[in-house]
Structure 1
Amino acid sequence: MTIYSKRIYDAVSETDGKRILVDRLWPRGIKKEDAKIDLWPKDVTPSNQLRKWYHEDIESRWDEFQKRYRVELSQVTVSLDELRKLTAQGPITLLTAAKNQGRNHVSVLLDVLNPKA
């Protein structure tokens, strides 16, 4: 199971495999035809309410955000299973516009999709 993550603004690579946008909103400045997106499952992204709440104070809300987002993800198991099935066919790359690669929803999603043994 190979799952990568990178910013949507980074160059498309042959090693990306299936490119999956995991942001609820379309990223600014990116044309849809240039993005090379294979899938855009909005239900695995944080809800608008959670996203807005988190962005009001990213630093102090990170721990609580992770907990709330995991609860949301627990309600979309079919979509998560579909993403896991895609990894059996080859690598996938989760794409986001988020600048902070350490503290964003993708790191939580990666952990849920590929938990450590």
Structure 2
Amino acid sequence: MPAANVPLPEKIHCKRAYDDLSAGDGYRVLVDGMWPRGVSKDALKLDDWQKALAPSTELRRWFGHDPQRWAGFYQKFFNELEQSADATAAIDALLRACNGRTLTLVYAAKDEQHNNAVALKRYLDA
């Protein structure tokens, strides 16, 4: 969980890396461990890339974007986030850099409802 003195974003959005930019995106951060295929750095227009906030390779492979494994995935992902000092530091850095503005978590997965950005948003909302 973030440090007590870190301002929380006014809103958190999740957006595919392949979607168009919008004025309301605010602070944009890629939360995947790998760069999205076929998208240039210039086109993505990120403020940051936080690999430490991506699920482990093992968890990502286990999940396989199977909606029936969604509940297990996000619970295991939350556990990874809580057990990792790198993830804790990355969350604090992300929230400090966002500084209360709208935060957009950028991801590459096709499934817009069952992915690591949606799970991370759920974690941050809690």
Give the TM-score of the pair, scaled to structure 2: 0.82
Distance in 2 of aligned mates of 1:60 and 1:110: 19
Question: Any unmatched runs of 5+ in structure 1?
Answer: none
Q: CA deviation at 1:60?
A: 3.0
Q: CA deviation at 1:88?
A: 2.9
Deviations 1:65-99 (A, max 9, x none): 11110111112212112223334341121111111
Which deviates the most, 5-14 or 83-92? 83-92
Secondary structure of the residue that 2:14 maps to in structure 1? strand
Please say if 1:61 is aligned against 2:61.
Answer: no
Deviations 1:22-69 (A, max 9, x none): 1111111101121101100101100111111111x7133222111110
Tell me the residue number matched to 1:23: 32
Distance in 1 of aligned mates of 2:38 and 2:25: 21
Give the TM-score of the pair, scaled to structure 1: 0.87
Tell me the residue number matched to 1:97: 108
Tell me the residue number matched to 1:70: 78
Choose which of 79, 92, 107 in structure 1 pairs with 2:90.
Answer: 79
Distance in 1 of aligned mates of 2:72 and 2:99: 32
The 1:59–1:16 alpha-carbon spacing in structure 2 relative to 1, beyond 3 Å, is closer
Distance in 1 of aligned mates of 2:12 and 2:97: 10
Q: CA RMSD in A?
A: 1.5
Secondary structure of the residue that 1:27 maps to in structure 2? coil
Please say if 1:109 is aligned against 2:120.
Answer: yes
Tell me if structure 2 keeps the 8 A contact 1:20–1:93.
yes
Tell me the residue number matched to 1:41: 50
Say how many residue pairs are matched. Answer: 114
Question: Any unmatched runs of 5+ in structure 2?
Answer: 1-9
Tell me the residue number matched to 1:32: 41
